[in-house]
Amino acid sequence: MTKIVIIGAGSAMFARQLITDVLSIDGLEQGEFALVDIDPVRLELSRSLAEKVIQLKQKNWVVHASTERHTALQHADFVINTIEVAGLPNVRFDYEIPLRFGVDQCIGDTIGPGGIFKALRTAPTWLEILRDCEQLCPKALVLNYTNPMSILTQTALNATTMKVVGLCHSVQGTSYELAEHLGVPHKEMQFRLAGLNHNAWFLELRHNNQDLYPLLHQRAKSPEVYEKDPVRFEIMKHLGAFVTESSGHFSEYIPYFRKRSDLLEQYMRSGYKGESGFYANNWIRWRTEHDARVPKMLSGEETIPLERSQEYASNIIEAVLLNRETTIYGNVLNHGYISNLPNGCIEIACVVNQNGLHPQPFGALPEQLAALNRAHMAVNNLVVQAILEQSKQAAKYALMIDPLTAAVCSPKEIDTLFETMWAAQALYLEHYQ
């Protein structure tokens, strides 16, 4: 019987969607979900919600829940990682301390000061989970959803023997946005894409064998369309391709837009379009509101959505278990798949079937786009080095070369910024020397 373990399942709404997706697979009628979380209250809500979805889907799956992962991991076929480590006590530090030094973040959880420190906090626990997997379910496929995606996936693949792929929804979400901008049916749009997580590039966009980029450039001249994605349209205009992450989040990866007040005013918009502190100022409220919805779903006061989502986890599970070959965009190590990027974690097309995950060779990116990707791969490599060597100094070097931080601060200022964040989060950084 298939066993799927979800680590960090106390995030009930996301766990519910992953479970709903699996239960939507035709022909996969029975199995076991093993839910794990360190918060017993949130875990119990997730368990109850999972059982409710199974009932509504009329499938023969069972649910077990535990705060102790060792029992849950035994004989697992798939392990889905959705952990959050010390986010609540540090989300303000991740945003407010860099802001004192002029480093303005919108999301701040995958790159820059916030992303680097989130990686440092999360990685030791992530590696402990993977070490347990090596002992308890060595043949399992590990699906990582936890950010920083590139850093944590690269850490796992460099330091453990587990088969791991990092999964995001930025490719799916952006492809639907592009289809809307272009006025073409999404299922009829073809694209060719490669790069890094949140920094992958739509190199080709086609419909009925016609290049859609001239039309996209034309549509971007319309204020109504441009306002939906100012940063991404600017990058497309000047560097030649549309990128996979939202304008606000992507603006943190590049040195162009968030370094002066006049540029912030010109290019940033509310919410995911660039709002300062959007994640830090709203995440705790979002989490509270999501938790409050679970009892309403269980009581019937709120309808439980039963539609399958765009998340890749269930597509992978269906392809492996039922040999229904599919293509997803996954985060994997670059074994020459993108020829002009170095070793590290990249995001490319992967064919999945009963024999597992098969990254597809892409070739070379346009040099200007590869150069942006290389800058972040260097940051990621230093953070991975910091994690594996328990090196505070390597982590500081990573922040020194972060493109946005370096565009705003001098080396001396970055040193002070780093040490200030380190002091504020020291309780959660005892792994490092």
The residues annotated with a catalytic role in the active site are: 169
Report d(CA 90, CA 337) in Å as an integer: 36
- Radius of gyration (C-alpha) of the chain in whole angstroms: 21
Within 201-277, where are the H helices?
Answer: 213-220, 223-226, 230-239, 247-250, 261-267
Residue 13, C-beta contacts closer than 8 angstroms, at least 6 positions apart: 290, 293, 294
Q: Does an H or E element contain 90, and which?
A: helix 87-100
Closest CA to 188 of 217, 213, 212, 208: 208
One-letter amino acid identity for 220?
A
- Angle of CA points 348, 351, 353, to nearest 5°: 150
164 three-state secondary structure: strand
Query: Cα separations (Å) of 221 from 195, 202, 265, 273, 401?
Result: 26, 19, 19, 18, 34
Burial of residue 329 (CB within 10 Å: 0-12, 13-18, 19+) is buried
